Amino acid sequence: MSMITATTWVPRGFAAPFPSKYVFDEDEYERIAELAKLQLDDAKDDLEEAQKEKKKDRKGASNGIAKDSNTDEIDDDLKEYDLEHYDDDEQEGDGDTMAMFGNMKNLVFHESNEEDPYITMQGHEEDDEEREELQILATDNLVLAGRIEDEVAHLEVYVYEDEADNIYVHHDIMLPAIPLAVEWLDLPVGKSGASADAKGNFAAIGTMEPDIELWNLDVVDSMYPDAILGQGSEDMDGADKPKKKKKKKSKKPNDTHHVDAVLSLAANRHHRNLLASSSADKTIKLWDLNTTKCAKSYSYHTDKVCSVVWHPAESTVLLSGSYDRTVVAADMRAPEAKAPRWGVESDVETVRWNPHNPNYFYISTENGMIHYHDARQAPTDPSKSKAVWMLQAHDESISSFDINPVIPGFLATGSTDKQVKLWNVQDSGPSMVVSRDLGVGKVFSTSFAPDKEVGFRLAVAGSKGAVQIWDTSTNAAVRAAFASKVPQMKGDGKERLVGLEESDTDSDSDEGEDVEGASDGEGGVELEEMEE
């Protein structure tokens, strides 16, 4: 099984032209050894707790309930490895925490300027070729995709070459659990002394685990994240040195870290050191990326908070949507103030501000509805919410939704019904431009490219584990709908769809032709105009 759960774009010009290779030297070896010991200590503590629970169960079973022979056999097997004393100094060896990995201490680390006696050819030509293969051009975009495949989770970093109609995996990053949210960061993480205009190229990743991992996208083959937001950060102090003992993790919501899955991430483009996160633990956290600490925690909702996004102009206002079927627009500077709240008919999936008119915002829901609200007209009670308009966009959940940052009124919705639909929003309301099945299965992510040069490109991914880049400007219906807003558009009549597996798109070509020419207002769109 393979699926892609989240995608996001990296604007042009931020990625290093030649990403560096991860260096495994003696200092890094010692750091990883300490981190590994902390993880083993956690595993040992969990094992001891489980054994204590088993002993309690056995005592309760002594009043006539027969013992489970399988449990005894398991205990006997565990005794063979003597896990209770695996790290004692009296163990055979010198007490090194990595003794379980054999004679690892005897490994010799060769610096780059030393010659390894067992290597007869230095291979400079191969190094040059590898460096050239890793090169990222200024005209390339990166696309980040969170993938789960055969219970192994990782972040794939794609390079998208628009002129060459090509996309390929540049490198990938192993993750601890199923990725649920990916956000791009444009500053060096953990650099408290960095200048205000310092550039970085990092990814923040939220998973089924409560910690948020931060990875440098300009380093290939890293083994550990550059920073962790959450209780996992206690493994290291400010000097990247692991602590001697980690506190026992608590599952009770608190003001310092999440205790459940991280469902959404939002980087603040005005205050670049701030990252907002929302979680299944019903809280919203505000993180300072310079210190990698939680600056503030908020509890605006009574159920899982699935989506957060910053206001494009009012840089301290955060919009959040929850499974409690409400949306809140709160000023993070005034957490005690009563924040305006809107209600919808089912669980919220995604919230988005209108980048072209930030007085308005969109809500997508599990019932396939799109709500469009005026933020200046907050109801006295969520049950009395009145949208500017509502749209039944899909028959199933709208699992992904995006607004084109370059072209006003251009919306894309993706659903578990496997359809991607493009919409044209005008003063009279929205109308469908085209509907397509792009062969990605259930659609879990739709995201528009951030740069003007590739403004019509839409990344789509889903349950089949494929990423497709759709150049929507090559679709006749899209050209007809947005030609007046964007005078210079491609128009060769041949639709462009770029993916790693072209066969996936070929199999759906007939279906695409059936709906490709859907014009404004076609396709059985249900539109409800709401009274003011």
CA distances from 522 to 299, 309, 392, 432 (A): 42, 31, 13, 7
- What is residue 508's predicted lDDT score, i.e. its pLDDT? 40
CA atoms 466, 227, 310, 392: torsion sign: positive
- What is residue 223's predicted lDDT score, i.e. its pLDDT? 84
Confidence bin at 61 (pLDDT 50/70/90): low
Residue 244 corresponds to which tokens in the numbers above?
A: 């001697």
Average pLDDT, rounded, for the chain: 81
The residue that leads in pLDDT, 519 or 500, is 500
Q: Is the pLDDT of residue 235 over 50?
A: yes
Q: Is the pLDDT of residue 517 over 50?
A: no
Confidence bin at 39 (pLDDT 50/70/90): confident
What's the mean pLDDT in 222-246? 66
Q: Do 249 and 236 touch, CB atoms closer than 8 A?
A: no
What's the mean pLDDT in 197-201? 87
Cα gap 71→56, rounded to integer Å: 13
Confidence bin at 530 (pLDDT 50/70/90): very low
Q: Do 212 and 228 touch, CB atoms closer than 8 A?
A: yes
Cα gap 136→431, rounded to integer Å: 39
Chain length of the chain:
532
Confidence bin at 472 (pLDDT 50/70/90): very high
pLDDT above 70 as % of the chain: 73
Confidence bin at 138 (pLDDT 50/70/90): very high
What's the mean pLDDT in 107-118? 48
- What is residue 45's predicted lDDT score, i.e. its pLDDT? 81
Residue 56 corresponds to which tokens in the numbers above?
A: 């309690």
- What is residue 274's predicted lDDT score, i.e. its pLDDT? 96
The residues near 142 (Cβ < 8 Å, ≥ 6 apart) are: 9, 10, 15, 136, 157, 158, 159, 160, 170, 217
Q: How would DSSP label each residue in 154-177? A: EEEEEEEETTTTEEEEEEEEEESS
Cα gap 214→225, rounded to integer Å: 6
pLDDT digits (tens, 9 = 90+) for 14-25: 999 999 887 767
Lowest mean pLDDT among 245-254, 266-275, 412-421: 245-254
- What is residue 507's predicted lDDT score, i.e. its pLDDT? 38
pLDDT digits (tens, 9 = 90+) for 278-292: 999 999 999 999 999
pTM for the full predicted model: 0.77
Confidence bin at 198 (pLDDT 50/70/90): confident
Confidence bin at 67 (pLDDT 50/70/90): very low
Cα gap 229→7, rounded to integer Å: 20
pLDDT above 90 as % of the chain: 59
In the chain, what is the straight-line distance between the N-terminal and C-terminal CA atoms, in Å? 48
Q: What are phi and psi of 27, to 5 degrees?
A: -60, -45
CA distances from 512 to 57, 457, 506 (A): 60, 17, 10
Q: Is the pLDDT of residue 334 over 50?
A: yes
Lowest mean pLDDT among 81-90, 240-249, 355-364, 404-413: 240-249
Lowest mean pLDDT among 69-83, 185-199, 228-242: 69-83
Instruction: Tell me which DSSP letter residue 344 carries.
Output: -
Q: Is the pLDDT of residue 204 over 60?
A: yes
- What is residue 23's predicted lDDT score, i.e. its pLDDT? 74
Q: Is the pLDDT of residue 244 over 70?
A: no
Confidence bin at 132 (pLDDT 50/70/90): confident
Q: Is the pLDDT of residue 73 over 70?
A: no
Instruction: Report the largest interatomic distance among the alpha carbons of the chain, rounded to a whole angstrom.
Output: 84
Q: Is the pLDDT of residue 87 over 70?
A: no
Q: Is 373 helix (H, G, I), strand (E, B) or coil?
A: strand
- What is residue 231's predicted lDDT score, i.e. its pLDDT? 87
Q: Which residues of 304-317 are buried (b: 16+ CB within 10 A; e: fewer)?
A: bbbbbbbbbeeeeb
Q: Is the pLDDT of residue 396 over 70?
A: yes
- What is residue 512's predicted lDDT score, i.e. its pLDDT? 38
Q: Is the pLDDT of residue 83 over 90?
A: no
Cα gap 269→262, rounded to integer Å: 20
Confidence bin at 41 (pLDDT 50/70/90): confident
Q: Where are the domains of the chain?
A: 25-108
Confidence bin at 129 (pLDDT 50/70/90): low
Q: Is the pLDDT of residue 255 over 70?
A: yes
Q: How would DSSP label each residue in 289-314? A: TTTTEEEEEE---SS-EEEEEE-SSS
Cα gap 227→315, rounded to integer Å: 25
Q: Is the pLDDT of residue 100 over 60?
A: no
The residue that leads in pLDDT, 508 or 314, is 314
